[in-house]
């Protein structure tokens, strides 16, 4: 179930006019869909005290999207200085921001502490001594090692650079306590694009058993557990959607059970990116060339600078040709950009209706890890971003990059330096 039929119906009749006005290519995000998904998430966890979604800013770091998410009650998960700045520009402060960095630098610690600080999520025991001023509330990212298998995308925790290993976790809490921390949380992030809610239920179960262990060993009552992000979305037409209601119900039951046995229960946090905005973005690009060689290539005016996932992971993104219905007679084509890399393909041997120069192609599910992952290799520029508002109007929320942007960091009159 790539992008909702509802979005197709609202968007496609208007798309030629939008493309005419703004020019192609562009990512377009759907306010209505984002609102509905966040409402669904909150409904699923309505029975969980203290539930909070910290939107993973790296998925779609656009201030207008972040402002919308904040209005809907989300906090932000940041892992760089730029993301902290964006979260604060959106108005988030203190415990509405989680800073999940790894290999953290002194500059990052300094910015994390500014403007009322944030929830510091420490990635390693060695960082406890490096926090310039230990905040009252601190969290650790937990890596369960051999105790969990991770999912197929993110790989085995034993090989992941992230998180505090099991055998150092108690010492990490002790060390933070010795430096003055008084309130504690626990975080983990084990899955990516996981569509089976049972995996996330197991993660909550795992965090609760660690919380019980920490309480028994150290007398520390964890204030919150953060199950990470990684909830999957259906990229392929016959993929099933993640059952967020089932996750909410089962998480609630686990927390209630914990409460009866321990006389309190931690709040539950989540930091999804993809699940919240992924299905509510599309990359709209125009066909500009058709090449019939050993295969048929449809050349479009966007390239992998706008969307890395197909080239980087072989990821599937569904494609519609606007105004042309798919049929069983469709012949397979490769949909390609102009970058000098043979993996610059949005689709490989994909059956599509006959595409002619000038046709608009809609590449689905680009609302997370799309524009944000873009890059400038080969001098390719990143496209503009548009927002389809719930009132039907369209706003440009990021302009396209220009050659001036590309050249902006170059120093044409280089200052020589001799050691
Ligand atoms: C990337 C990331 C997320 C978001 O992942 P999604 O797959 O978009 O949900 C959340 N937390 C951390 C620490 C991440 O690195």
* Per-residue pLDDT reduced to its tens digit, 182-198: 999 999 999 999 999 99
Closest CA to 367 of 83, 3, 68, 84: 3
Q: For ligand 1, is residue 144 a contact (CB within 6 Å)?
A: no
Q: Which atom of ligand 1 lies nearest, measured to the CA of 58?
A: 1
The tokens 């009159």 sit on which residue?
413
Pull the structure tokens for residue 317: 């993104």
Q: How far is the CA of 342 from the centre of ligand 1 (A)?
A: 28
Catalytic residue among 74, 78, 303, 340: 340
SS3 144: coil
Residues with Cβ within 8 Å of 135's Cβ and at least 6 positions away in sequence, in order, are: 113, 117, 120, 181
- Among protein residues, the one with the nearest Cα to ligand 1's atom 3 is 229
Other Cβ atoms closer than 10 A to 259? 13
Pull the structure tokens for residue 4: 């909702």
The tokens 């983990």 sit on which residue?
188
**Mean per-residue pLDDT for 296-321?**
97
Quickly state the pLDDT bin for 2 (edges 50, 70, 90): low
Q: Is 281-401 in CATH node 3.40.50.2000?
A: no
Other Cβ atoms closer than 10 A to 262? 15
**Residue 156: in which H helix or E strand, if any?**
none
| Alpha-carbon span 180 to 389, nearest angstrom | 46
Q: For ligand 1, is residue 83 a contact (CB within 6 Å)?
A: no
Q: Above 60 in pLDDT, residue 1? A: no
Beta-bridged to residue 120, according to DSSP, are: 99, 138
Beta-bridged to residue 226, according to DSSP, are: 187, 269
Quickly state the pLDDT bin for 154 (edges 50, 70, 90): low
Q: What is the mean pLDDT of the chain?
A: 96
Other Cβ atoms closer than 10 A to 146? 10
Q: Which atom of ligand 1 lies nearest, measured to the CA of 278?
A: 8
What are the sequence ranges of the domains in the chain?
A: 31-277, 281-401
Q: For ligand 1, is residue 269 a contact (CB within 6 Å)?
A: no
Q: For ligand 1, is residue 75 a contact (CB within 6 Å)?
A: no
Closest CA to 367 of 274, 281, 272: 281
- Among protein residues, the one with the nearest Cα to ligand 1's atom 10 is 229
- The verdict on whether 340 is a catalytic residue reads yes
Chain length of the chain: 419
**What is the pTM assigned to this prediction?**
0.96
Q: For ligand 1, is residue 230 a contact (CB within 6 Å)?
A: yes
Q: Please answer whether residues 316 and 235 qualify as being in contact, where contact means their C-beta atoms are separated by less than 8 angstroms.
A: yes
For residue 152, what pLDDT is reported? 66
CATH class of 31-277: alpha beta
């Amino acid at each position: 179930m790539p992008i909702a039929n509802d979005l197709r119906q609202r968007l496609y009749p208007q798309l030629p006019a939008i493309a005419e006005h703004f020019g192609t290519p562009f990512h377009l995000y759907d306010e209505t869909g984002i609102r509905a998904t966040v409402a669904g998430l909150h409904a699923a966890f309505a029975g969980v005290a203290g539930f909070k979604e910290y939107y993973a800013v790296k998925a779609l770091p656009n201030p207008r999207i972040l402002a919308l998410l904040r209005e809907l009650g989300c906090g932000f998960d940041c892992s760089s200085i730029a993301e902290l700045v964006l979260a604060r520009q959106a108005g988030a402060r203190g415990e509405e921001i989680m800073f999940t960095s790894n290999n953290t630098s002194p500059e990052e610690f300094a910015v994390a502490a500014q403007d009322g600080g944030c929830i510091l999520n420490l990635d390693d025991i060695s960082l406890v001594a490096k926090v310039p001023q230990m905040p009252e509330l601190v969290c650790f990212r937990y890596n369960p090692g051999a105790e969990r298998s991770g999912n197929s995308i993110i790989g085995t925790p034993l090989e992941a650079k992230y998180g505090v290993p099991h055998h150092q976790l108690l010492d990490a809490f002790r060390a933070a306590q010795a430096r003055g921390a008084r309130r504690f949380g626990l975080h983990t992030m084990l899955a990516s694009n996981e569509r089976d809610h049972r995996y996330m239920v197991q993660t909550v179960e795992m965090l609760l058993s660690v919380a019980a262990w920490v309480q028994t060993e150290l007398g520390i009552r964890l204030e919150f557990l953060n199950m990470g992000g990684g909830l999957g979305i259906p990229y392929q037409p016959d993929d099933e959607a993640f059952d967020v209601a089932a996750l909410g119900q089962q998480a609630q039951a686990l927390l209630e059970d914990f409460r009866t046995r321990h006389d309190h229960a931690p709040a539950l946090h989540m930091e999804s990116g993809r699940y919240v905005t992924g299905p509510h973005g599309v990359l709209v690009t125009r066909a500009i060339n058709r090449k019939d060689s050993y295969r048929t290539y449809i050349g479009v005016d966007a390239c992998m600078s706008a969307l890395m996932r197909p080239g980087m992971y072989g990821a599937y993104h569904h494609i519609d040709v606007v105004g042309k219905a798919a049929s069983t007679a469709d012949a397979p084509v490769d949909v390609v950009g102009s970058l000098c890399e043979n993996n610059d393909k949005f689709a490989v041997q994909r059956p599509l209706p006959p595409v002619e120069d000038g046709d608009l192609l809609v590449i689905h599910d680009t609302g997370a890890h799309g524009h944000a992952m873009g890059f400038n290799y080969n001098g390719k520029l990143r496209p503009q971003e548009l927002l389809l508002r719930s009132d039907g109007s369209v706003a440009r929320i990021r302009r396209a990059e220009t050659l001036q942007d590309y050249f902006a960091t170059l120093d044409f009159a280089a200052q020589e330096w001799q050691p």
